[in-house]
Amino acid sequence: MRHWWKALAIILLLYTLIAGLLIPVPKQVILYESIRNLYFHVPMWFTMIFLFFMSVINSVKNLSSNNLTHDTKAKELVNAGIVFGVLGIITGSIWAKYTWGAWWVNDVKLNGSAITMLIYLAYVVLRGSLEDEQKRARISAVYNIFAFVLLLVFIGILPRVTDSLHPGNGGNPGFNNYDLDDNMKLVFYPAVLGWILLGWWIASIRIRISNLSQKLEA
Amino acid sequence: MKYLNLFTLLLVSIAVKAESVQMAETMRSEGKIYVVIAVLAIILLGLIVYLITIDKKLGKLEKEINN
């Protein structure tokens, strides 16, 4: 049963969907039922960060071993991560419209995540512009490390030191302080794990396709 | 004319009824949230089944090419 984690992903996602819509949530003005977006919007970002983190690990491995299989993994993990980042931005934009009043507000975390997406798109462009395999692997690995550090700054640090509309950032108390009650934790943590496993599944398929096409080209 | 009046009355009564509906409460009390869950679950399961078939196809291709 080497596919057990895929089955776990399916079970967790189904659970997230059903329990996420049915289990009672804290009654909050402005948010109302939209608080349930927490189970879907936030895990998109967690999954993206997880995939980018796995990617940077592979980039470091590539730099220390010069083994191109790590480079393939790093590339496809970023590709899959970008999809989740885009989903995070779109779902966040819809949520923002109906709680903060606009599709896009000048919030540090929003602008930070948009910049992060551009940084990672630049990674894809950078790879496309380099012909030589070895050179491409090394240069993009170095860039990937730089990109991940910027991600930590833009999503992890800056929103916490300035004012942000997002909970847990700036002067804004986090969901886990009083909003995220035990009921919500019961759904939120499995949701995060489920979405991360799904992201990993999609990335692994991309890696395998990439490996096959390289084999066919060789 | 009589029928027209009756019809207007019917429309008004429907409109009044619609105004008094409380969305989230009604969805639960009448169980319609389950409709949404069913739709979303089918979409999710459909996509997952699709992902599984892609995974399997890829596995076959890997076997063919690696042998």
d(CA B30, CA A88): 32
Q: Do A212 and B58 touch (CB under 8 A)?
A: yes
Span B18-40, pLDDT tens digits = 555 555 555 555 567 788 788 88
Span A156-182, pLDDT tens digits = 888 888 888 888 776 666 665 555 677
ipTM of the complex: 0.75
Task: Choose, out of B23, B35, B47, B51, the residue to mutate when testing the contact with A (most A CBs < 10 Å).
Answer: B51
Q: Do B37 and A18 touch (CB under 8 A)?
A: yes
For residue A110, is pLDDT > 80?
A: yes
B37 CB neighbours in chain A (<8 A) are 17-18, 21-22
Contact call for residues A185 and A4 (beta carbons, < 8 A): no
* pLDDT at A161 (0 to 100): 83
A14, A32, A212 member nearest B41 (Cβ):
A14
Domain range enclosing B32 = 22-67
Any domain includes B17: no
Any domain includes B15: no
Mean pLDDT value across chain B: 74
d(CA A137, CA A72): 9
Task: Choose, out of A8, A25, A39, A205, the residue to mutate when testing the contact with B (most B CBs < 10 Å).
Answer: A205
Torsion angles phi and psi, residue A130, rounded to 5: -110, 130
Span A25-55, pLDDT tens digits = 887 778 788 888 999 999 999 999 999 999 9
Q: Is the pTM of this model over 0.90?
A: no
Contact call for residues A175 and A183 (beta carbons, < 8 A): no
Least confident window among A20-24, A52-56, A76-80, A82-86:
A20-24
Number of domains forming the structure of chain B: 1
